[in-house]
């Protein structure tokens, strides 16, 4: 975390350090706008002395200061992060994701970078060990194909990370292959996972899911494949994988059962997954609102 | 006593002469290190897309080159906006003003663009460093030996004056 504090402007850094970092979920830096934070599920402005509701007391950064944060976060190695930047985000330190908004630089119909950075959203990862433990019986005994669903910021990644960890403690002790496309799940830094995901877990960071799974299926012989934020484009190859006798732990954006049912690929999704875990982000990350079976019957513990 | 003094003067002047001569040799070695670093850097950027801190961590070479790498590493650790400060280059005594500006420019462009553009920039600096190496070699050949001999002769001259 110290590396992140180093890249933030002094005023912001000092103020953040006065807060309880475990409750800090997001910092939003916008050019010529007050700095805001998502602190224990509530939005505040950031003043020099911590969080505040008063806009007038908030720290305001100019465009250059916002841009500087991005440059420093790249650690003078834009070449390392250029692929991520072209997708609008940056994962400079284990698990911390910086979303970037600005003017896209387009070359040959492809976004190659982002200039004139207007805003940054720095998201802090949280490790809540044991948040899926209660549901291990429903999800891991026996191993099921699990889809975790919540709106953005609902704790999908936190829950999935813990589910992988809990699978290590279950009787089957499956080998789990994690496709960590955005390096949020394992938060690898220089080849070392920053989060505990058990001893039987292999991680491929920053590779597209289909590449990671296709190439590692034979070489790593996993029992379970885990990946974050699947999209409709991923559904067909996940279907193929599920037919190979491999179990899947995945997450997806959504809020209600209807959101899933209205997905244009619902039939395939329903073929793949045996369990649906809906998360509730109102009070804390990774809090389960309900676990449902294939037919959307609520399962009780 | 006089003989001791004369020997002291001769050895002192010779030492100064060889000291100056050594600077020319160090300059040759320094540009050698820079060229090796550039070619290694291009591989690290294109193949592994390594971060600069990892590149600097494994860089080896002469005292002056290692000094620059250490300064750059410190800047990266403390998230400074410049890898090398211009005043850091003053520590390298054998560089002239133009060479310092070139080096400053080189470290200034590092890590600020994607792989393809970075390679083009490094290629450009590589050519400049190659020319600098050739000049340094030429200087060492002509002036290096000259200053060594000049030191001895100056010592002898002062010794004769003392006599």
Mutate to test the interface with A, among B43, B51, B112 (most CBs of A within 10 A): B51
Please write down the long-range contacts of A75-78, taking CB distance under 8 Å and 24 or more positions apart: A75/B51, A75/B52, A75/B53, A75/B76, A75/B79, A75/B111, A76/B52, A76/B75, A76/B76, A76/B83, A76/B110, A76/B111, A76/B112, A77/B50, A77/B51, A77/B52, A77/B53, A77/B111, A78/B111, A78/B112, A78/B113, A78/B114
Establish if B122 belongs to a structural domain.
Answer: yes
- DSSP per position, A137-204: HHHHTTT--EEEEESTTSSHHHHHHHHHHHHHHSTT---EEEEETTS-SS--BTTB-SS---SSEEEE
- Contact list in B for residue A6 (CB cut-off 8 A) is 77-79
Query: Which pLDDT score is estimated for B120?
Result: 94
Binding-face residues of B in 61-100 toward A, CB within 8 A: 75-79, 81, 83
A77 CB within 8 Å of a chain B CB: yes
Q: Which residues contact B111 (CB under 8 A, 6 or more apart)?
A: A74, A75, A76, A77, A78, A79, B52, B83, B118
- B162 domain-assigned: no
* Partner B contacted by A87 (CB < 8 A): no
The larger pLDDT score, comparing residue B146 to residue B31, is at: B31
Residue B137 has pLDDT above 80, yes or no: yes
Spatial strand order of the sheet with A89-93 comes to A50-52, A42-47, A36-39, A24-30, A110-123, A96-107, A89-93
Whether B44 is in a domain gets the answer yes
* Bridging pattern class, strands A96-107 and A89-93: antiparallel
Domains of chain A: 2-123 (3.30.450.90), 133-293 (3.40.50.300)
Residues of chain B positioned with their CB less than 8 A from the CB of A68: 81
Given a cut of 80, whether residue B1 has pLDDT beyond it is no
**What's the average pLDDT block by block, 10 residues per block, for chain A (301 residues)?**
85 92 91 94 92 94 91 87 87 86 86 87 89 90 92 88 93 90 86 88 89 82 92 88 89 89 89 92 75 90 72
Predicted confidence (pLDDT) per residue in B16-64, tens digit: 777 778 888 999 999 999 999 999 999 998 888 899 999 999 888 999 9
Flag if B76 and A6 touch (Cβ within 8 Å).
no
Token couple for A130: 């044991």
- Partners of B78 on chain A (C-beta within 8 Å) are 6
B142: phi then psi, degrees, rounded to nearest 5: -85, -55
Please report where in the chains the tokens 């961590």 appear, as a residue.
Answer: B57
Evaluate whether residue B9 is within a structural domain: no
Interface check A13 vs B, CB under 8 A: no
> What pLDDT is stored for residue B69 in this prediction?
94
Measure in Å the smallest separation between the Cα of B86 and chain A Cα atoms.
17
CB nearest to A79's CB, from B54, B77, B115: B115
pLDDT of residue A257: 87
Alpha carbon distances (Å) from B120 to A132, B51, B130:
50, 18, 15
Q: How far is A78 from chain B (nearest CA, A)?
A: 5
Could you report the predicted ipTM of this complex, rounded to two decimals? 0.77
A to B CB pairs, distance under 8 Å: 48
Q: Is residue B139 part of a domain?
A: yes
What is the spatial distance between Cα B85 and Cα B114, in angstroms, rounded to a whole number? 23
From the list B1, B11, B4, the residue with the least C-alpha distance to B155 is B11
Q: Within a domain: residue B7?
A: no
Based on the structure, what is the number of domains in chain B? 1
Q: Which of A72, A79, A190 sits opposite B114 (nearest CB)?
A: A79
Domain containing B111: what range?
25-143
Best residue in A8, A74, A79, A205 for a mutation probing chain B (most B CBs within 10 Å):
A79
> How many angstroms separate the CA atoms of A156 and A144, rounded?
17
Is residue A184 within 8 A of residue A126, CB to CB? The reply is no
Nearest to A222 by CA among A160, A162, A177, A273: A177
Residue B151 lies in a domain: no
Question: Residue for token digits 């070139």?
Answer: B102
What tens digit of pLDDT does each residue of B101-135 get? 999 999 999 988 888 889 999 999 999 999 999 99
The dihedral region occupied by A245, where left means phi > 0, alpha psi between -120 and 50, and beta the remainder, is: left
Position B14 in a domain = no
Both ends of chain B: CA-CA distance in Å?
12
Query: SS3 of A277, please?
Result: strand
Identify the pLDDT of residue A111.
Answer: 83
What are the chain A neighbours of B45 within 8 Å (beta carbons)? 79
Q: Quick one: pLDDT at residue B114?
A: 85
């Amino acid at each position: 975390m110290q590396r992140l504090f180093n890249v933030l402007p002094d005023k912001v850094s000092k103020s953040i350090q006065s807060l309880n970092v475990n409750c800090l979920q997001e910092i939003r830096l916008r050019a010529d706008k007050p700095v805001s934070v998502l602190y224990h599920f509530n939005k505040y402005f950031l003043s020099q002395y911590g969080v505040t509701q008063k806009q007038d007391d908030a720290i305001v950064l100019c465009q250059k200061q916002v841009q500087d944060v991005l440059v420093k976060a790249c650690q003078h190695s834009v070449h390392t992060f250029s692929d991520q930047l072209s997708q609008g985000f940056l994962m400079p330190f284990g698990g911390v994701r910086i979303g970037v908004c600005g003017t896209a630089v387009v070359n040959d119909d492809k976004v190659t970078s982002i200039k004139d950075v207007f805003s940054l959203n720095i998201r802090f990862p949280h490790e809540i060990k044991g948040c899926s433990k209660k549901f291990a019986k429903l999800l891991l005994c026996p191993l099921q194909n699990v889809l975790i669903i919540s709106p953005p910021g609902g704790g999908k990644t936190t829950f999935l990370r813990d589910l992988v960890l809990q699978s290590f403690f279950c009787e089957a002790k499956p080998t789990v292959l994690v496709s960590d496309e955005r390096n949020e799940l394992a938060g690898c830094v220089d080849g070392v996972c920053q989060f505990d995901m058990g001893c039987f877990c292999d991680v491929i960071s920053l590779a597209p899911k289909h590449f990671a799974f296709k190439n590692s299926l034979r070489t790593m012989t996993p029992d379970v494949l885990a990946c974050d934020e699947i999209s409709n484009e991923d559904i067909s190859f996940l279907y193929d994988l599920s037919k190979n006798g491999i179990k899947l732990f995945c997450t997806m954006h959504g809020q209600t059962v209807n959101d899933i049912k209205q997905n244009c690929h619902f039939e395939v999704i329903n073929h793949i997954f045996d369990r649906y875990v809906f998360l509730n982000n109102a009070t804390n990350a990774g809090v389960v609102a309900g676990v449902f079976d294939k037919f959307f019957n609520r399962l009780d513990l | 006593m006089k003989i001791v003094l004369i020997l002291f003067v001769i050895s002192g002047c010779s030492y100064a002469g060889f000291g100056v001569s050594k600077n020319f040799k160090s300059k040759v070695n320094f540009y050698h290190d820079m060229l090796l670093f550039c070619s290694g850097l291009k591989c690290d950027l294109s193949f592994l897309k390594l971060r600069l801190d990892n590149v600097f961590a494994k860089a080896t070479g002469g005292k002056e080159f290692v000094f620059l790498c250490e300064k750059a590493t410190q800047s990266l650790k403390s998230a400074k906006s410049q890898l090398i400060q211009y005043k850091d280059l003053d520590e390298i005594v054998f560089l002239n003003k133009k060479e310092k500006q070139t080096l400053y420019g080189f470290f200034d462009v590092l890590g600020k663009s994607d792989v393809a553009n970075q390679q083009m920039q490094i290629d450009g600096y590589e050519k400049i460093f190659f020319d600098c190496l050739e000049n340094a070699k030429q200087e060492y050949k002509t002036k290096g030996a000259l200053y060594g001999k000049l030191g001895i002769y100056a010592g002898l001259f002062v010794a004769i004056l003392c006599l």
